[in-house]
Structure 1
Amino acid sequence: MLSIYNIIIKFFGFAIKIHSLYSQKSHQWIHGRKDIFFRLEKEITNNKNIVWFHCASHGEYEQVNQLISEYKNNFPKDKILLTFFSPSGFNNVKKNNCIDWIFYLPLDTQKNAKKFIKLVMPKKVFFVKSEFWYNYMNQLSLYKIPLYHISCVFDRDKFSIFSSFSTEILSKSKHFFVQDKNSLEVLNSINIKNSSITGDTRFDSILENIKNKKEDQRILEFCLDKTTIIFASVWPEDEHIFKKFIKENSQYKFIIAPHELNYCKNISKLFDVELYSEFDTLSEKNILLINKIGILKNIYKYCSLAYIGGGFGKGIHNIIEASANLNPVIFGPNHSQFIEAKDLIKINGAASVNNYKEFLSQFNKLNSSFNKKAVSDYIKDKSGATDKIIQHLKV
C-alpha cells in the first residue's frame, strides 16, 4: 500500500505542474515551493524549540489560530513554524507575535519528508483536522518526535476502506484530539487508545473573534437601511439557489462572498454588484460582492440570515461563524461529515435543502422559528477544546 501511496503522490505532483500552466492557484502552489529547502535552511537552521503546526488551507488556520495563540502564551520559549498545503492559507496568513515562520509544506514524498524533518527538527508537531501525510508521519516517528492531531473526525464507513494502511499511519502519532464520540470509537476499534474527545477548536477561535468586536465600516454602511441576506462561500453549484432568490427579492440587500475569488468575475456578470474593494457609501446598489479573503468572519453580525455554500459540491463550508453570530443558516445536502450541521438542524438553528423550492420553504420557516437561545447555548457549550488541549500538553 505504501508503494501505491507514493505513486499517487508523485502523480499528483506531476499533474499539478501541468495544471499550473493554465491555473493561477496551481501556479502559486508550484511557485511557492520553489527553492523551499534553501529558504528553510537559511531561516530555520540552528533554531531550537521549534513547534510545527500544519494546516491544509486558510479555513483550517482559522480553526486553530486561537490554539496557536494559547500555546504561545503557555510555552513562550517555543518558536512556531506554520505550514500550509494550499495557497489560500499561505497567501492570507501573515507572521505575528505568535508565528515565527510561514512556509508551504513540500509535497509528501519520501525524499522531501526526510529533508524537511532533518532541517526543522521540531520538538512537537500538530496536524489540523484531516491532514494525514504518511511520509512526514513516518519520519516524525523515526525521530521520536511527538505528533498530535487537532479537531479530527473519523467516519467508520470511509475509514474502513483503507483500514490496515490507515492503522499503520495513525499508530505513529502521539495523540488524537477528536471532535466526537464516534471518532473516538473508530480509533478504539483499531486499537488506537491515545485519543480523547476535546471538541472543535473552531468554536474557541470564532468566539474570540466575536469578543474582539472588530467593526467593518463598509459592511455597516451597506447594511444600514435594509435587512441583509448573505450567501457565503458559494460556488457555481450554488447558483441555482442564490441567483433566482436575489432576482426575485429586491426588498432585501445581499452580500455574496464566493469561496474562490476568481468566481467574482462570473458573479459580476449575473448581477449589477458593488465590489467590496470599491465600495461607495453613495451607491444605491443592493448587492455587495466580497472580493477579499479573510474578512467573512467579521461580516455575519451585520446579516439576518446566511446561506453557506459547498453543500451541492464536496461539502459545506464553515457554518459555525454564522451560527455564532446568531444567524439562521441554510446549506445544501452534502453535510454528513459535519457534526455541527446535524446538531444545529435538531435545534432549529439551521436547515439543509436539496433545491430552490426547499430553500424558499426553509427561508420562511427559519425566519419565524429560529431558536436563538438554543443556538447561543449550543455555541457556548461546544467551546473549550483549546483549553482541554493545552491542559493535556502541560501534563
Structure 2
Amino acid sequence: MQLGFRLAAFFHPKARLWIEGRKQLWRQLEHYQPSPQTAWFHCASVGEFEQARPVLETFRKENPDWKIVLTFFSPSGYELRKNYNQADLVCYLPLDTAKNARQFVDIIQPKMAFWVKYEFWYHHLHELKKRNVPVLLFSAIFRPDQIFFKSYGGFYRTILKCFSHLFVQNEESLKLLKSISITNVSLSGDTRFDRVVEIAREAKSFPVVEQFCGEAKVLVGGSVWPEDWETIAYCINEYVGKHTLKYIIAPHEIDIQQIEQWSNEVSVKSVRYSQATSEAIQQADLLWIDNIGMLASLYRYGHFAFVGGAYKNGLHNIVEAAVWGMPLFFGDKKYRKFQEAHDLLALGSAHAVADGTEFTRIFTNLLQQPDLYQHEAETSRAYVYSKIGATEQIMHSLKV
C-alpha cells in the first residue's frame, strides 16, 4: 500500500501530502506529553470528521480534564482540520503496521478510543484490544457485499471483534452484524444529523450572497464534479430567458481554469465569490464559490440543491442541504451506500437523475407546482429533524 502511495505521489498532490505528512508524524509526536486520561478519535477524512465532531465536542464539554487526540487517514481531513482547537493533538494515523501501531499507542496512551463509520485498521485495533482499551465505532453502516459477511471473511471479522461496542445507522447493519455473531451493537443512527442541525442553528450569513440572490429562486450546486456540472449546465441553458433563477455553484475542486471553462459553457453571466463587487453581482446569474468552508451555510440561500459526487466516486453530504428544507437532486450512479439517500428518495423529496434532460424535467415540474415543491421542501427538513439524537445515545452509553 505504501509503495502504491509513493508511486501515486509523482502524479497527485494529495498522495504527496499523504507521504510527506507521515514522514513528519514521528517528529511531531516527539513533543507530545501523554495524559493518563486521553480519548482518541479517529476519522478517515472530512466527512467522517463532521460525524465525529458532535461526539468529540460533547465529550470535551463533559470531560474537560481529558486530553483528546484526533487522527486522520486522509490529507483532505488533516489539512483542513490540523488547527482544530478542540483537540490537544491533531495528526495523521500512522501506516497500519504492527510496529507503528505499538509505537503510536505507546506515545498517546489512550484510555478510550472512538472510531468513525468504516475505519478498520487491523494492527491499530488489535493493539488497542491487547491493551484492554475500549473502542467505540459509531455512525457505522454495513452492506451485505462487504467482506465481513462472506464465507472467506473470517480474518476481517476478527477486526470487528476489537470494538467494545458498535453504534450503527440502520436496521440492516444491525441484522448483518448479528448474523456473524457480533451482538454488542446498538441502532443509534448517524451523528451527522446532529451536526448539520447544529450548523443550521449557527449558520453564518453572507451579505454578498444575499445581495446576489435577491428575490430569485436559487439552485445551489454543492461539491460539483465535471459530470455533475454537465447536468446542471444543461438545465441552466434550458432556462435562459424563461425564468428568474440564480445559481450558486461550489465545485468539488477549486480550479480557476476549470471554473473559467465551465463559465463559457453556459449562456448566463457569472462571477467568482472572491471577485464579487456590487456591480458584478447585479449583472450575474451564477455565483462561483472559489473557496472552501462556506458550503454548509450556503445551502440556506437555496430553494433547490444539486449535490455532487454520485456520477463519480460517491455522493457528497445531502443532509447539509436537506436541513434547510428543499428538494434534492443528485446523479443516479453512486448513492447506494448512503442511507439518507435511500430514505429521501423513498420519501419523494430527493431525485436521482440520469442526465440534464431528466433533471430539467423534474426541476420544471417543481417550479410549476408550488404545492408539490412545498411538500418536498418540508419533507426534507422534517426527515433531518426526525433523525437527531445519536450523539446523546452514544454519550449516555459512556455513563452506564
Is this a same-fold pair by TM over 0.5?
Answer: yes
**Is 1:331 aligned to 2:333, yes or no?**
no
Residue 256 of structure 1 corresponds to which residue in structure 2?
249
Q: State the 1:58 CA deviation.
A: 1.2
1:1-395 paired onto structure 2 within 5 Å: 12-42=1-31, 44-159=32-147, 160-161=149-150, 163-250=153-240, 251-262=244-255, 264-271=256-263, 273-283=270-280, 284-333=283-332, 334-367=334-367, 368=369, 369-370=372-373, 371=375, 372-395=377-400
Q: Is the 8 A contact 2:327 2:380 kept in 1?
A: no
Structure 1 SS opposite 2:261: helix
Cα displacement (A) at 1:192: 0.6
Distance 1:358 1:166 in 2: 41
Contact 2:168 2:189 in 1 (8 A): yes
Residues 59-110 of structure 1, C-alpha deviation per residue, up to 9 Å, x if partnerless?
1112221221111111221111111111221121254552222111122122
Worse-superposed segment, 227-236 or 371-380? 371-380
Give the AA of the match of 1:261: I
Letter in 1 for 2:308: G
Q: Distance in 1 between matches of 2:398 and 2:303?
A: 40
Code of the aligned partner of 1:223:
C
Q: Give the letter aligned to residue 40 of structure 1.
A: L
Cα separation, 1, equivalents of 2:254 and 2:74: 14
* Residue 182 of structure 1, CA deviation: 0.5
Alpha-carbon distance in 2 for matches of 1:62, 1:129: 11
Q: Which amino acid aligns with 2:362?
A: Q
The structure-2 alpha-carbon separation of the partners of 1:319 and 1:85, relative to structure 1 and needing over 3 Å to count, comes to same
Paired with 2:110 and 2:133, the residues of 1 have a C-alpha distance of 7
SS at match of 1:246: helix
1-structure distance, mates of 2:378, 2:304: 16
1:94/1:14 CA distance change after superposition, 3 Å:
closer
**SS, match of residue 299 in structure 1:** helix
Change (3 A) 1:358 1:200: same
- Mapped to 1, the partners of 2:116 and 2:145 lie a distance apart of 21
- Cα drift, residue 187 of structure 1: 0.7
1:231/1:373 Cα in 2 relative to 1: closer, same or farther (>3 Å)? Answer: closer
Q: Which amino acid aligns with 1:388?
A: Q
C-alpha distance in 2 between matches for 1:278 and 1:52: 41
C-alpha RMSD of matched pairs (Å): 1.7
Distance, in Å, in 2 between the alignment partners of 1:94 and 1:313 is 27
Indicate if the aligned counterparts of 2:102 and 2:124 stay in contact, CA closer than 8 A.
yes
Q: Which amino acid aligns with 2:351?
A: A
Structure 1, 22-31 or 311-320: larger mean CA deviation: 22-31
SS of the residue corresponding to residue 33 of structure 1 reads: helix
| Range that drifts further, 48-57 or 369-378 | 369-378
**CA distance in 2 between partners of 1:362 and 1:129 (Å):** 33
Asked whether the equivalents of residues 326 and 378 of structure 2 are also in contact (C-alpha less than 8 Å), the reply is no
Conserved in 2, the CA contact under 8 Å of 1:300 and 1:327?
Answer: no
Quote the sequence identity (%): 36
Report how far residue 279 of structure 1 moved: 2.2
- Specify every segment of 5 or more residues in structure 2 that has no aligned partner in the other structure, as ranges: 265-269
Decide whether the 8 Å contact of 2:225 with 2:309 is kept in 1. Answer: yes
Gaps of 5+ in 1: 1-11
- 8 Å CA contact 1:128–1:149 kept in 2: the answer is yes
Tell me if the contact between 2:84 and 2:90 (Cα under 8 Å) persists in the aligned partners: no
Residue matched to 1:4: none
Aligned length: 382
The 3-state SS of whatever aligns with 1:157 is: coil
**DSSP-derived class of the 1:92 partner:** helix
Calculate the TM-score normalised by the size of structure 1.
0.92
